[in-house]
Amino acid sequence: MQTSLSKAILAGGCFWCTEAVFLNIRGVQKVTPGYIGGRRPNPTYEQICTGHTGHAEAIEIVFDPAVISFEMLLNIFFATHDPTTLNRQGNDIGTQYRSSIFYVDEEQKKAAETYLAQLKTMEIFDAPVVTQLEQATIFYEAESYHHNYYNRNPEQGYCSFVISPKVSKLRKYFDDWLKS
């Protein structure tokens, strides 16, 4: 019996990082890097890098909710990026690197609101969580050279020094969720 797939859209800084993390997760069928939340139709990477289009670098995750829940995706998301820095992840600075959950329906909106409230109550992080909750708008797929970037360029400096630690953290804390 075929289950229906769901979609989640998350922005946690550079989409090379978030894509590298979620490609490894059981129940995730597809991860697409792209741009969302801005004003310019069909933006290019060069345009969104200026910070003037309003788009965030994000990933669209197609997942099987019979295998992994939206809430578990959020657990992984918050464990593998810094949700306490406004419009920044490490040396990547600008609104295009914001931490945001782009909900695709009311169920996701409520789940994300509950999750964010729990994070605030539990005080897990040393600073307040600044992750935004935004309604999904048009998701524009990134140029092909951005797809599977980490796996195609493991020796590149950014991949070695920024992405690899996130993937290592994923393996350490979510080993039971990794694809075999």
Cα(167)–Cα(174) distance, integer angstroms: 10
| Rg of the chain, C-alpha, whole Å | 15
Query: Is residue 17 included in any domain, yes or no?
Result: yes
Number of structural domains the chain divides into: 1
Q: pTM of the entire structure?
A: 0.95
Q: pLDDT tens-digit profile of 8-17?
A: 999 999 999 9
Give the pLDDT score at 2: 58
Average pLDDT over residues 61-66: 97
Q: Looking at the domain assignment, is residue 1 inside a domain?
A: no
DSSP symbol at 55:
-
Catalytic residues: 14
Q: How large is the angle between the packed helices 106-122 and 70-79, nearest 10 degrees?
A: 40
Domain membership of residue 113 (yes or no) is yes
Q: Give the CATH number of the domain where residue 121 resides.
A: 3.30.1060.10
Q: Which one, of 116, 102, 90, lies nearest residue 57 by Cα?
A: 102
Q: What is the pLDDT of residue 123?
A: 87
What percent helix, strand, coil does the chain show, rounded to 5?
Answer: 40, 25, 40
Give the residue numbers spanning the domain of 132.
Answer: 6-177
Which is nearest to 101 in space by CA: 36, 42, 48? Answer: 36
Q: What is the spatial distance between Cα 51 and Cα 22, in angstroms, rounded to a whole number?
A: 25
pLDDT of 180: 85
